[in-house]
Structure 1
Amino acid sequence: MTASKEPRARWSRDENGIPQIVSDDISGLHWGMGYCHAMDRGLQMLIMRILGRGRAAELLDGSDEMVEVDRFFRRMNWSGGTAAAATSLSPEARAASEAYRDGVNARFSESVPWELRLVGVRPEPWTIEDSLLLARMAGFLTLAQSQGELERLFVEMVQAGIDDGHLEALFPGSTQGLDRSMLSQVELGERMVPEAVKWGVAAPRMMASNNWCVSGERTASGAAMLGNDPHLETNRLPNVWVEQSFRWPDGYALLMTMPGLPAPLVGRNEHLSWGATYTFMDAIDSWVEECRDGKFRRADAWVHFDRRVETIKRKKGKAIVETFWENQHGVLDGDATRAGHRLATRWAGADGGSQSINALIPMWTARTVAQGMAAFADVESSFNWVFADSAGDIGYQMSGLMPKRSEDWSGFAPRPGWDERFDWKGFVPADELPKVHNPPDGMVVTANQDLNHLGRAKPINAPMGDYRARRITELLQTRDGHDVDSFRAIQMDTYSIQAAEFLEILTPLLGGGPIADALRAWDCRYEIHSTGPTAFELFYAELLVEMFGPASGAEVIEHLRDATGTFIDFYQNFDRILVAESSPWLGSRSREEVWRAALARVRDARPEPWGHRNRLTLSNMFFGGKLPRFLGFDRGPVPIPGGRATPHQGQIYLAAGRLTSFAPSLRLVADMSTPILHSALCGGPSDRRFSKWYTSGVDGWRAGRLKVRKPPSRS
């Protein structure tokens, strides 16, 4: 097929429905990428743009819930300043973005998703600024958001009277320079723990992905290999990723792309493969601002905030006018006209997007690990990138804008906004971020763990647990001659080092009962037919309350456990205390007493198979599970193997009142001795319900099968 009246690219589908895009030049590839994104994921792109602009209540649904969504995006103001950011695109990136834009609009001139016509939306033409908006959204709505929520929780704990000993045990280094008096005066608008959930502070008796690469010495082919499985929300249709394959006269690329973004994100070309996981970089900070009459204190002076007025229109109902107050520290949480202390929060990537696209465009033709590391070092959002090339090199590079802070401030706890010592001093140079090229042991593994030791800068102050990284490393080290099958097996592995280490303490305490029986028989694998994972998770949930409830309030811990991602993202902080023999959180009790008390809460429970408990429905992103199941817009329920600490992560939880998940959104394996990319996607190429490609990849993804993707034909 010719992809428009102007044949700048040709496209067809392979046997798996993946677009094969062929052009005479790379500009034409971007045009074809945009055309096929709009064809296969047009609804996804347009909804993300509506959300990012804060216009969902106006165009989609005027409910109070959607107004709150709009209020969030208006507050973040990612659509502001995109025109200015577009002027920073390099000539190559601008040409690519313009070609992509033209391809998108060529498709939308032919057809617009019927769902938007249903609600009366006539989409405006796609712009370069829209792609920059989606780049900002993709960078924040992941772990930058989680880091900000954890830091907000810390302030709430200080205000609730949790003492320094408890805080330091939970968040090491957090109490250095802590000003309790100042934080106690802060009026919090947005809270991790709602006001209705009361902190019960006791008397002083006593919050994800994998990739790795190995050198040829460890592979059957003798060539370097790479594996990647980003763990993102998987309970939505379509998937956040879309697979596309490209061919031009001088090369090819087999990629995972994101709708709306004109760039080669993850995959391989003829000479180089690369993959990504999220980095737990602290790129978001808060400052305490002393406010009055629309001004903030700066040393001994009072300075006017910038005042931004936003009107949120509703599909039905009266428009809402919101006022946001901003300064060099970001957006204020509250009203600056009232005297008091409030937090202003800034994310490092809020004004970004263009630098990332500039960095990614050269990846079409990059040939070496060194070139890949240099390119991705300039990406503004925080990721861990691993590389393998056809010459046998491997490497790792962290990306992201890391703020330069005062030497006595990690960025975790808020500092006074009136003291200029705590202002950001620009960003840390990319060459100081963690990285490694051809490590002596011939492997690199990242799984959201602490990687500070690999760089001069120390970007991570709240990493995810290292259990998955340790398990992957163990599996890579236990054999030589790795191949596609062994990498696939690692991606599907459900063994939990966390559970194994906890059971060393728990087993002598078990006694009798169904939970004890299930745990004794368990091999620490989170398989869907096993009752062991359920038994362990029932115990673990109660252990969190038993350990942290006495000092914080059981209701608070239950809320954090059941309605937020705090224990999902930052479980290492809590596990460190759960297994410690001595901690302020134990109070006057021993560790064994706490564990026995938690076990007693669930001793007589009858654990069901893990797949009965850990399952999700893939819901259509537009209708959100509101249509009858027989219409086929949703798929499931689908049992998900794995847990928080297994290489095949499988976490399903509530966050902000919405069911979400961490699981492998895609899998890919590249052996650089061949021109092939092996991949699996949870979903399908298309967001069109009545397309044969809507959920065509789900069964293969569930079974752990990998598609064989070859370079497109030149014809």
Structure 2
Amino acid sequence: MPRPRSAGVVALAVVLVVALVAVTAVVVLLRRPLPDTSGEVAVPGLGAQVRVLRDARGVPQVYAEDPEDLFFAQGYVHAQDRFFQMDFRRHVTAGRLAELVGDAPGAVEADAVVRTMGWRRVAEAELPLLAPETRAYLEAYADGVNAYTGGRSPSELSAAYTALGTRVDLGPVEDWTPVDSLAWLKAMAWSLRANYSDELARAAAYGAVGDVGLVEQLFPPPSASVGEPVVGAVGSLAPAAATSELPAADDEVLAGVVAALADPADPVAGADRALAAVPDLLGDGSGATGGIGSNAWAVSGEHTASGEPLLANDPHLAASFPSTWSQVGLHCTEVDEDCPFDVSGFSFAGMPGVVIGHTADVAWGFTNTGSDVTDLYLERVRDGAALRAGEQVPLTTRTETIRVAGGEDVAIQVRSSGHGPLLSDVVPELAAAGRAAPVPEDAPPAGSDGYAVALSWTALQPGRTMDAVFALDAAQDWDDVREAASLFVVPGQNIVYADTSGSIGYQASGVVPLRQPGAGLGQGTGTWPRPGWDPDYDWVGAVPFADMPSVLDPPDGLVVSANQRITDAFDPFLTADPDTGHRAQRIREVLEDRVAAGRPVTADDMEALQNDRVDPFAEVLVPYLLDAPLPEDPGSSPERRAFTREAVELLRGWDGTTTADSAPAAYYNAVWSTLLRLTFADQLPETAQPRGGSRWFTVVGQLLEDPDSPWWDDATTPAVVETRDQVLGRALQQARLELTATLGADPEDWEWGRLHRLVLRQDVLGDESVPAPVRALWTAGPVDLGGSTSLVDATSWDAREGYGVTAVPSMRMVVDLADLDASRWVDLAGVSEHPWSGHATDQLGAWAEGRTFPWPSTPGAVEDAARDELVLTPRSTSAG
């Protein structure tokens, strides 16, 4: 009997009501954590009223009467916008990620690595080294965070906790501490470390080919770099110039901490070794993809339309969501000695202060120096002791317990030699390097598992980098910036400078170890794993800050830093593996051409240059591709060759511009990826496989001049010896077939952006293992992008894994020293982590299109741009 119409209507109504209730519940859960950004809130801990003005993109500008209130309020607004990101970061840096997310893929492994290194232990040791005012600011920031989080459940702080709570049981949110802020500096130092992966790849490549000379062809020396260094030669250093490995600090406190770290009986001595499972979580900042770097340059007023300097910066980091950076302005209502801050720029959620930006007088940008601050030491270990200078020295050990939400605890034993933790215990690639790395002829025999591998890293020494951040934020001139630079330990940064008095400059920073000269493989440069049993390979101090490269007002009125070699004479002591300089050369060429033509540089020109998408290597490679004969083996018919030539014709006359809609760029990059695979995959292990990037531009550029190099030969066809032209022809053919399958048969319809896409994913809830409806809330994209690896617009990709974007210009800024309010900035995504805040991805579209937003910083401009005002007022704790 048919159901009465009224019954069907009722059933449908019930379904709709249930659906509406479910949707409403989701909306409530998503909107519940959204912070109040206007009105007045009384909070305990403030000394006086604080104003927080937010613009159309939710960027906060904070005004306070004293610095403690200023950083208190910064902690408060960071917690409003990004607390889950902050909590995630502190769990990562403490080796407690599995405690937050459960037995998620990679979590326990990451914890094992970070616990082995002991990042948090080092941060705890740093706190007493810092200036009293720095410690006060860190405490004030923590108090501000806790003022916001106190009394709120996890679900009231972020919908991410609500989603995560369906998988694991979440306890109450812990109070924030100053050490939580300091520990994030270790994560950034890890993300920006240099040479670690190159050193590992050298060992792996040697294990495969057994020829040091062939391996060195894959790691061109600085002399093979293109373009100009950052500054002129400053002379060379010798080991006699060694100094303490730590910056100056209170001698008594410093001596106590150093002694504690050096004492084998102290558990902090094992802090060196948690390095290896973190790349998937933070982005492999070793430079292996060629994507982690930065551009920064300054143009003096003699070349600008305004007559005052311009400064640009765009740090290249792993793509992340929420963004790596959080924009903020921090302003004392009356700037004086007691409250010296009037600074605006990019901060890290979870850490007080501004990292990159400008004060009322100076502007600065950062690029990574690429200094070699890590060394891998091969250790001959037997019976719990490592051989050193002919004697068996006992290893230090400790047990770490990793708690896993919803699972069983995992206990690990951390072993350390005098050089640092035995990372080979937790990193399979390092264990393989211990079996493969070349050693001197008189080396002691390795054990059945090879040599153990220890890590020495300057970031595992406590230092005063946090002091440097606040010193920069109060800087008024060049001397102030140099003083701040002297306090940096890690990550070492190239500081590009400009000020309102008309000067521009450059200063290298960071603690860089000195290595003893000698004839041993990599002895003076740290390019290969080092024999830990031989003291001649030990560090002998650090480069004195007075000898670090520096220049003020260079004669040509330009400073360009894009991770290239810094000076011709100095670089062997900084690194043997700088970026080979293609980005730096392109930036300098564009600026010099404009200057030579007599066209004054404007902020628009600086912004356009940040979005320059010309591939510098295309000029080298394309002529060889156009001349390469196509395969004529039995599988390559005349029709197949004509089919391939149709695609090859895209490259004829192409100017190397890699816009998202470019067909030639799509084919060129497919050919480049295929060429790397055909040339090297048969001879190199996974660790040493090319991912693309500037080093491989140089390597392949040199091989193109040697058509019979053994690298061209395919080791899997022993009866045939392949040459350069054969490999080039096969790359052209295979790339044509690949793009036909993915983009269609007509090459004219191909578009680079359809291959080269950016998808932003939140670290935990954006993972593919998360149900799609939940994942969608913490995912942005895909966005079709132009640019490529090692271009000025460095939207990088891994040539081993496809064309998806892995690293990006994480923000862009142009500072106009003639009118600071005419400056401009853009973040990768937005200031908020809350999906329905309106500010989680409201900058992504502009960023992808190469646009920026106005950057107000003076009081009048900030007031004019304000859309919301939140007033924080003191509340006594007795008032409840």
> Same fold by TM-score, threshold 0.5 exceeded?
yes
Q: What residue is the counterpart of 2:7 in the other structure?
A: none
Q: Name the CA shift for 1:579/1:398 in 2 (closer, same or farther; >3 Å).
A: farther
Contact 2:760 2:780 in 1 (8 A): yes
Q: Which residue identity does 1:662 align to in structure 2?
A: A
Q: Which residue identity does 2:772 align to in structure 1?
A: P
The 5 Å alignment of 1:298-317 reads 298-317=388-407
- CA shift at 1:457, angstroms? 6.4
| 1:585 pairs with one of 707, 711, 714 | 711
TM-score scaled by structure 1? Answer: 0.88
Deviations 1:74-93 (A, max 9, x none): 22211123222111001221
Q: What residue is the counterpart of 2:228 in the other structure?
A: none
The 5 Å alignment of 1:297-376 reads 297-334=387-424, 341-352=451-462, 354-376=463-485
Q: What residue is the counterpart of 1:121 in the other structure?
A: 171
Contact 2:486 2:545 in 1 (8 A): yes
Deviations 1:151-200 (A, max 9, x none): 112112222233122022223579xxxxxxxxxxxxxx9899xxxxxxxx
Matched, 1:261 2:405: no
CA distance in structure 2 between the aligned counterparts of 1:322 and 1:657, rounded to whole angstroms = 36
**Range that drifts further, 626-635 or 215-224:** 626-635
Deviations 1:502-538 (A, max 9, x none): 1133222377523202212533111111111121111
Contact 2:626 2:652 in 1 (8 A): yes
- CA shift at 1:706, angstroms? 1.5
Matched, 1:621 2:763: yes
| 1:277 pairs with one of 348, 367, 370 | 367
More relative contact order in 1 or in 2 (CA 8 Å, sep 6+)?
2
- CA shift at 1:645, angstroms? 2.9
Q: Which residue identity does 2:309 align to in structure 1?
A: A
Contact 2:485 2:510 in 1 (8 A): no
Q: Name the CA shift for 1:514/1:77 in 2 (closer, same or farther; >3 Å).
A: farther
- CA shift at 1:466, angstroms? 1.5
Contact 2:201 2:687 in 1 (8 A): no
CA distance in structure 1 between the aligned counterparts of 2:577 and 2:849, rounded to whole angstroms = 34
- CA shift at 1:629, angstroms? 5.4
- CA shift at 1:495, angstroms? 0.9
CA distance in structure 2 between the aligned counterparts of 1:241 and 1:414, rounded to whole angstroms = 34
| 2:672 pairs with one of 515, 540, 558 | 540
Partner SS state of residue 134, structure 1: helix
Matched, 1:378 2:423: no
Q: Which residue identity does 2:207 align to in structure 1?
A: Q
CA distance in structure 1 between the aligned counterparts of 2:58 and 2:858, rounded to whole angstroms = 13
Contact 2:561 2:584 in 1 (8 A): yes
Deviations 1:466-513 (A, max 9, x none): 111111111111223111110110011111111122113322237752
CA distance in structure 2 between the aligned counterparts of 1:298 and 1:470, rounded to whole angstroms = 45
Q: Name the CA shift for 1:576/1:398 in 2 (closer, same or farther; >3 Å).
A: farther
Matched, 1:76 2:117: yes
Q: Which residue identity does 1:243 align to in structure 2?
A: Q
The 5 Å alignment of 1:112-261 reads 112=154, 113-114=157-158, 115-116=160-161, 118=165, 119-144=169-194, 147-172=195-220, 208-234=293-319, 236-248=320-332, 249-250=334-335, 252-261=342-351
Q: What residue is the counterpart of 2:73 in the other structure?
A: 32
Matched, 1:523 2:655: yes
CA distance in structure 2 between the aligned counterparts of 1:296 and 1:358, rounded to whole angstroms = 37
Structure 1: segments with no counterpart, 5+ residues: 175-188, 193-206
CA distance in structure 2 between the aligned counterparts of 1:59 and 1:509, rounded to whole angstroms = 55
- CA shift at 1:333, angstroms? 3.3
The 5 Å alignment of 1:423-442 reads 423-442=538-557
Contact 2:217 2:699 in 1 (8 A): no
Deviations 1:408-429 (A, max 9, x none): 3211112211111211122211
- CA shift at 1:572, angstroms? 4.4
CA distance in structure 1 between the aligned counterparts of 2:398 and 2:801, rounded to whole angstroms = 26
TM-score scaled by structure 2? Answer: 0.72
Q: What residue is the counterpart of 1:62 in the other structure?
A: 103
Q: Name the CA shift for 1:656/1:56 in 2 (closer, same or farther; >3 Å).
A: farther
CA distance in structure 2 between the aligned counterparts of 1:87 and 1:386, rounded to whole angstroms = 30
Deviations 1:340-382 (A, max 9, x none): 5211112111233x41111221222212233213312431112
Contact 2:680 2:689 in 1 (8 A): no
Deviations 1:123-165 (A, max 9, x none): 2211111111111111112344xx2122112112222233122
Q: What residue is the counterpart of 2:729 in the other structure?
A: 596
**Range that drifts further, 600-609 or 540-549:** 600-609
Contact 1:680 1:705 in 2 (8 A): yes
Q: Name the CA shift for 1:158/1:370 in 2 (closer, same or farther; >3 Å).
A: same
Q: Name the CA shift for 1:318/1:61 in 2 (closer, same or farther; >3 Å).
A: closer
Query: Aligned Cα RMSD in Å?
Result: 2.9
Contact 1:472 1:647 in 2 (8 A): yes
**Range that drifts further, 211-220 or 520-529:** 520-529
Q: What residue is the counterpart of 1:198 in the other structure?
A: none
CA distance in structure 1 between the aligned counterparts of 2:735 and 2:786, rounded to whole angstroms = 22
CA distance in structure 2 between the aligned counterparts of 1:657 and 1:493, rounded to whole angstroms = 23
- CA shift at 1:406, angstroms? 0.7
Q: What residue is the counterpart of 2:798 in the other structure?
A: 653
Contact 2:321 2:760 in 1 (8 A): yes
Partner SS state of residue 17, structure 1: coil
CA distance in structure 2 between the aligned counterparts of 1:656 and 1:129, rounded to whole angstroms = 37
- CA shift at 1:540, angstroms? 1.1
CA distance in structure 2 between the aligned counterparts of 1:245 and 1:272, rounded to whole angstroms = 15
Matched, 1:462 2:577: yes
- CA shift at 1:545, angstroms? 2.7
CA distance in structure 2 between the aligned counterparts of 1:657 and 1:312, rounded to whole angstroms = 35
**Range that drifts further, 337-346 or 668-677:** 337-346
Partner SS state of residue 106, structure 2: helix
Contact 1:78 1:351 in 2 (8 A): no
Q: What residue is the counterpart of 1:684 in the other structure?
A: 830
Contact 1:615 1:652 in 2 (8 A): no
CA distance in structure 2 between the aligned counterparts of 1:651 and 1:232, rounded to whole angstroms = 10
Q: Which residue identity does 1:491 align to in structure 2?
A: Q
Q: Which residue identity does 1:301 align to in structure 2?
A: E
Contact 2:755 2:803 in 1 (8 A): no
Q: Name the CA shift for 1:388/1:357 in 2 (closer, same or farther; >3 Å).
A: same
Partner SS state of residue 426, structure 1: strand
CA distance in structure 2 between the aligned counterparts of 1:657 and 1:290, rounded to whole angstroms = 39
CA distance in structure 1 between the aligned counterparts of 2:648 and 2:371, rounded to whole angstroms = 39
Partner SS state of residue 217, structure 2: helix
Contact 1:57 1:66 in 2 (8 A): yes
Contact 2:388 2:534 in 1 (8 A): yes
Matched, 1:637 2:794: no
CA distance in structure 2 between the aligned counterparts of 1:3 and 1:131, rounded to whole angstroms = 25
Structure 2: segments with no counterpart, 5+ residues: 1-39, 223-274, 279-289, 336-340, 426-430, 432-445, 631-641, 714-720, 741-746, 864-880
Q: Which residue identity does 2:219 align to in structure 1?
A: F
- CA shift at 1:298, angstroms? 1.5
Partner SS state of residue 573, structure 2: coil
Q: Name the CA shift for 1:276/1:558 in 2 (closer, same or farther; >3 Å).
A: closer
Contact 1:452 1:460 in 2 (8 A): no
Contact 2:378 2:529 in 1 (8 A): yes
Q: Name the CA shift for 1:123/1:323 in 2 (closer, same or farther; >3 Å).
A: same
Deviations 1:644-702 (A, max 9, x none): 13211111338999976121110000110112231011111111112111111112212
Deviations 1:9-50 (A, max 9, x none): 321212221001001123322222221111111111100111
